[in-house]
Amino acid sequence: MSGTWKAVELMEGFYWVGAVDWDLRDFHGYSTHRGTTYNAFLLEGRENILFDTVKAPFFDQMIERIASVIDPSSVSVIVSNHSEMDHSGSLPAAVAAMKPGRVIASAAGARNLSMQLGFEGVEVAADGSRTAAGDTELVFMETKMLHWPDSMFTYIPSRKLLISQDAFGMHLATTRLFADANEESVLLEEAGRYYANILMPYSQLVERLLAKVASAGLDIEMIAPDHGPLWRSGTPTGPGWITGLYARWAAQAPGRKVVIAYDSMWRATERMAHAVAEGAAEGGAVPVVCGLRSSHRSDVAAELLDAGALLLGSPTLNGDVFPTVADLVCYLGGLKRRNLTGGAFGSYGWSGESVRRLEEALTGMKVRMLGTVACQFGPDAGALSRCRDLGGAAAASISGP
């Protein structure tokens, strides 16, 4: 079968048959300004195996890529490592077209596929279980809550290949399917943004997973995630590069960065934010100022990945914080960044609740509070001095590279 969409061979008999989503700019409130890929993989053998599918609108691309290598009806096994719809949305159409003898998922994956898609008849893979698919042995490892309850890895010993679903991935639209074919700075940025916005709440589980993989003694020469490029050994950005970053990010050790996020109505709170930044810089920290008219909530989350302090600023509007700041507080609260110090600041016209609300929110996020600064209308020299002192206190409170 000829057509537009061709499979890409990644190693002998192992193909990428996914799709590139060049236009995606939002993923559950996370700004994906470089698009994404939906990776699906085909392994040829005595039994042909498809690992994951693609988001439903991209089914035709996937089936055409498969058909460029084999007759799709010869796929006898489909493994669903993760049931989120960007990976399972094409599963019903794939099963209808291929009529595989087996569809394999974790126990939670089988439940999710039933509830989401009305899909039944899934073979359940227990944690640590092994199965033969023709001449290929598959080993399954549950990775619950990384980042859904159903998530699992599939390891293929004969290929030294780990198919890792959403773990070790990134949102990056690219046809350069190996990490080492992409710029390392882009990989670092996008892998970090992905970790900060999706996996950061589960950092303690990431640490346990890395220990679990190490104790299993898996010999891994390639990691194939469900988003973004693959990590292959013998390159500067191989499997050890990304797993090392995950170990560092999971530890959430405070760095020398001070993140200052704010919004402003008449630039009074903006002036305060800049004074906080000056104080942090004078104290030897690296301030990053995120005005929420130009910085997306997910940009702030990404900056926090290697930060040591978070300072939030807001004017008072209708007896509360400004809406963009409230949105950020809600988002960051769910990401559960640990080991931060922080503070709050803002201006007000007459009632002045915003700083107190921010202090309560930061305390609820387990941020160790250093102080607050509030001023009525525009900040005078004294208020700006207190803001500089707050920034200096943030710098003094953190240590790191």
Catalytic residue among 194, 202, 246, 262: 194
CB 3 within 8 A of CB 68: yes
Q: Which of 21, 47, 150, 166 is catalytic?
A: 166
296 counts as catalytic: no
- Kindly name the residue from 87, 147, 171, 274 that is annotated as catalytic: 147
Exposed/middle/buried for residue 71 (C-beta within 10 Å: 0-12, 13-18, 19+): exposed
Active site residue 84: yes
The answer to whether residue 86 is catalytic is yes
Check if 166 is active-site.
yes
**Active-site entry in 227, 246, 262, 274:** 227
Q: Which of 84, 270, 299, 306 is catalytic?
A: 84
Q: Could you say which of 44, 82, 171, 299 is catalytic?
A: 82
Of the residues 12, 28, 120, 135, only one is catalytic, namely 28
Residue of 322, 318, 306, 320 lying closest to 273 (CA atoms)? 322
Among this protein's residues, is 171 annotated catalytic?
A: no
Catalytic residue among 52, 64, 86, 270: 86
Q: Is 82 a catalytic residue?
A: yes
Nearest-angstrom CA–CA distance, 296 and 228: 21
Catalytic residue numbers read: 28, 82, 84, 86, 147, 166, 194, 227
